[in-house]
Amino acid sequence: MSKSEHTRSALLQSATRQFGEFGYSNASLRKIAGQAGVDVALISRYFGGKLGLFNASLKECLNWPELLDPANDPIETAIEKFTDPTSEDHKFSTTRMIILNADDPIVGERVRVALFDKLIDPLEARMDGAHVKERLAMFIAVIVGASITRYSLQVPGMASADAKMHSRQLRHLIDAALSFKC
């Protein structure tokens, strides 16, 4: 790994944390560079600017090839990815990255398009039964709502629940979402 690749990836990792924690507009390039131990000007050099850095970070976040693998159940894969149990801190999960930036006046549109291209459309293509669109939307709503309730709002009934209990809550709601009949 060359020197430039090293700083590039350090920048990308730091950016993903900051964008995921504070959102695009609240994240500062100087803080991103500082956390990566690198000069601010290098961001423009390697990514062309703040927008380019965000795009690179977004692309990395939403790269979920497992979703396309026929060997995997799409819903189970999505649950694993969304709840992201490997991440050390859910503050920096992909779910948060999406939610926090979906309304941004600058990158919101981009985030939504990427979300559809990389996640929602592939998921929809692999679901069957009646009312796929409606059930999928309800599934997304449950995942997103649970994430916000647990980590952003910190409502005790979810925030203080242990992993097992939270998993039961999630499964119960997901089952309801997927079994919806108009």
Positions in the binding site for DNA (CB under 7 A): 2-4, 6-7, 27-31, 38-45, 49-51
Piece of 11-19, 40-48, 62-70, 145-153 that binds a second copy (CB under 8 A): 145-153
Q: What is the DSSP string of 143-182?
A: HHHHHIIIIIS--HHHHSS-HHHHHHHHHHHHHHHHT---
Among 30, 45, 59, 168, binds a second copy (CB under 8 A): 168
Contact mark string toward a second copy, 28..67, x via CB under 8 A:
----------------------------------------
Nearest to 61 by CA among 84, 42, 30: 84
137 binds a second copy (CB under 8 A): yes
The tokens for 75 are 């819903």
26 vs 160 by CB, closer to DNA? 26
140 binds a second copy (CB under 8 A): yes
| Alpha carbon distance 127, 135 (integer Å) | 10
| Alpha carbon distance 21, 27 (integer Å) | 8
